C-alpha cells in the first residue's frame, strides 16, 4: 500500500477509536438517560466525541491526496460487482474461490 492508503486507514481507525468512547452509554441507554444529570453528561461527552471525529476527518488531506485516493485506493474498496468492472465478481487464481460478488464501500468487509 501507498502512504496515502495508510493515512486513509489511520484516519478511519482514529475515528472508530474516538467513537468507541460513547458505545457503552449508547448501549445502556436506559441507564445513561435515567436522570437529567446523566443525560446532560452524555450529551456533553457526545458533543466532544463528534467534534473530535470532525477534527480527525479534517486531517485526511494531510496524508491522503484526493486524486491518489480516487485513482488508486478507492477502486479496491468499491466491491466486486459488474458496476465496478468485475462482471463475474472476484476470482482468486489457484483456489476454489470463484465469483465473489460483494458490493458497497467496503466490499462487505465490515
56 falls in which pLDDT band (50, 70, 90)?
A: very high
Distance between CA atoms of residues 61 and 71, nearest Å: 15
List beta partners, residue 108. Answer: none
DSSP string, 1-36: --HHHHHHHHHHHHHHHHHGGGHHHHHTHHHHTSSH
Q: What is the pLDDT of residue 104?
A: 67
Q: What is the pLDDT of residue 48?
A: 96
Name the DSSP letter for residue 38.
H
Q: What is the mean pLDDT of residues 76-87?
A: 73
**In the predicted model, is pLDDT for residue 3 greater than 90?**
yes
Report in angstroms the alpha-carbon separations of 45 from 11, 37, 57, 66, 71.
21, 12, 18, 31, 37
The pTM of the full predicted model, rounded to 2 decimals, is 0.71
105 falls in which pLDDT band (50, 70, 90)?
A: low
Q: What is the mean pLDDT of residues 50-55?
A: 96
Q: What is the mean pLDDT of residues 43-64?
A: 95
Q: What is the mean pLDDT of the chain?
A: 85
Amino acid at each position: 500500500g501507498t502512504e496515502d492508503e495508510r493515512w486513509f486507514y489511520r484516519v478511519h481507525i482514529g475515528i472508530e477509536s474516538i467513537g468507541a468512547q460513547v458505545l457503552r452509554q449508547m448501549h445502556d441507554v436506559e441507564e445513561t438517560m435515567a436522570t437529567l444529570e446523566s443525560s446532560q453528561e452524555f450529551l456533553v461527552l457526545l458533543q466532544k466525541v463528534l467534534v473530535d471525529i470532525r477534527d480527525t476527518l479534517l486531517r485526511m488531506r494531510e496524508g491522503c491526496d484526493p486524486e491518489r485516493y480516487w485513482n488508486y485506493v478507492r477502486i479496491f474498496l468499491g466491491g466486486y460487482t459488474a458496476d465496478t468492472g468485475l462482471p463475474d465478481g472476484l476470482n482468486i487464481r489457484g483456489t476454489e474461490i470463484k465469483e465473489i460478488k460483494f458490493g458497497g464501500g467496503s466490499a462487505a468487509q465490515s
